[in-house]
Structure 1
Amino acid sequence: MYFAMTANELRSKYIEFFKSKGHAAISGQSLIPENDPSVLFTMAGMHPLVPYLLGEKHPAGTRLTDYQKC
């Protein structure tokens, strides 16, 4: 069986899945971070979360989800 989905539908289902599991949806970030242009592509998606990964509390909680635009 074959199901066709647009990129927007897939993205929406991805976010809704994690939201249904108690995650808060946060906005994606630019591939070029505002405060550190040396961090590109491989780390860019996680870069805005570094303070929270190091122990600072995120205002939306500990269960987060987002998607990285390409």
Structure 2
Amino acid sequence: VGVTSNPSIVKATAPENFFDHMRKVRDIIGTDRSLHVQVISKNCDEMVNEAHRILKEIDNRVYVKIPVSYEGIK
């Protein structure tokens, strides 16, 4: 039980600050529920950097979603 994010849907809602928005989601669902945030980068190195930033900016309990692409599988 938890919440998963879709970058295009989050972007369509036009939150002023993505990380503030996702921290608010975390506050709403609490720490007992899972929060999944997808990277939007296209290459492996950028995905890794983005994943680290997601964990740093939101919290270290976030499940980072990686696309099942060639770069994501790397």
Is TM more than 0.5 here? no
> Higher helix share goes to which structure?
2
CA radius of gyration, larger in = 1
Structure scoring higher RCO (CA < 8 A, sep ≥ 6) equals 1
> Higher strand share goes to which structure?
2
TM superposition score normalised by structure 2: 0.32
TM superposition score normalised by structure 1: 0.33
